[in-house]
Amino acid sequence: DRDNAKVTRHYNSLNPAFLRALDYAVQAVHRQGKWIGLCGELGAKGSVLPLLVGLGLDELSMSAPSIPAAKARMAQLDSRECRQLLNQAMACRTSLEVEHLLAQFRMTQQDAPLVTAECITLESDWRSKEEVLKGMTDNLLLAGRCRYPRKLEADLWAREAVFSTGLGFSFAIPHSKSEHIEQSTISVARLQAPVRWGDDEAQFIIMLTLNKHAAGDQHMRIFSR
């Protein structure tokens, strides 16, 4: 149904009613001593993982590339805190309230490092500036640091429209302070071959995406280093 233009606008896996239905199903199945898991795109979304942990599912199924990031994220979560978060999410009125709740939860967690292995890609075969920005923002989604990669990408393009972030010498530093990045991150990519970046070419990309509400002068402190 999500491919049906008449109803697709209603598709949102964070709808509180849907979360309550999932919780009911998990508890009902567990009362019978049975196994229950979740299969689908929802399981690979790092930002939603605390809710899935709170549900107490026995297994999450996702594409193989998403597994390492999901395991690393789960190792940092406390199941009791996740259950409390789920209870709060189920009490929300709208999916937007749930999204804000998840963002606040991530902000209260131990500060995540700016640079992680999940956000470093080597020998990428992206062949244009467009492919680079899309690929790097998609990677932030897989790492659980961004829920809306297309909106984050739009913020990066808005910055590029003001002035190209190419530095010359095969380097580029696309950057943005955005409300669509949940954990401030420095992403790094080394391309197989240079791509056109403004008036120059770039093969080494250092992308800085900072949470708009938590950044302050963080970008200046990072650039000064």
pLDDT at 96: 86
pLDDT at 1: 56
How many Å apart are CA 213 and CA 46, to the nearest integer?
A: 20
Average pLDDT of span 177-205: 93
pLDDT at 174: 97
Average pLDDT of span 191-209: 96
pLDDT top residue among 23 and 70:
23
pLDDT at 168: 92
pLDDT at 12: 79
How many Å apart are CA 10 and CA 12, to the nearest integer?
A: 6
**What's the CA angle centered on 194, arms 192 and 199, to 5 degrees?**
165
How many Å apart are CA 210 and CA 219, to the nearest integer?
A: 7
pLDDT tens digits along 138-190 = 999 888 788 789 999 999 999 999 999 999 999 999 999 998 887 889 999 99
Q: Where are the domains of the chain?
A: 8-108, 117-224
As given in the structure block, the two tokens for residue 22 are 């999932």
CATH code, residues 117-224? 3.40.930.10
| Three-class DSSP labels, 67-109 | HHHHHHHHCCCCHHHHHHHHHHHHCCCCHHHHHHHHHHHHHHC
pLDDT tens digits along 58-108 = 999 988 878 887 887 888 899 999 999 999 999 999 988 998 888 778 766
194: Cβ–Cβ under 8 A, 6 or more apart, which residues? 170, 201, 202, 203
| Ramachandran angles phi, psi of 192, nearest 5° | -65, -35
Q: How far is CA 88 from CA 57, 146, 170, 183, in A?
A: 18, 21, 48, 21
| pLDDT range class, residue 196, cuts 50, 70, 90 | very high
pLDDT at 76: 84
pLDDT at 104: 77
Match 């026995």 to its residue by tokens: 58
pLDDT tens digits along 150-161 = 999 999 999 999
Q: Which residues of 50-77 are buried (b: 16+ CB within 10 A; e: fewer)?
A: bbbbbbebeebebeeebeebbeebbeeb
180: Cβ–Cβ under 8 A, 6 or more apart, which residues? 146, 147, 148, 149, 151, 152, 155
- Whether the pLDDT of residue 109 is over 60: the answer is yes
pLDDT top residue among 149 and 218:
149
Range with top average pLDDT, 8-12, 47-51, 141-145, 180-184: 47-51
How many Å apart are CA 38 and CA 21, to the nearest integer?
A: 13
Q: How far apart are the first and last CA of the chain?
A: 50
**What's the CA angle centered on 49, arms 95 and 186, to 5 degrees?**
100
As given in the structure block, the two tokens for residue 160 are 């590029």
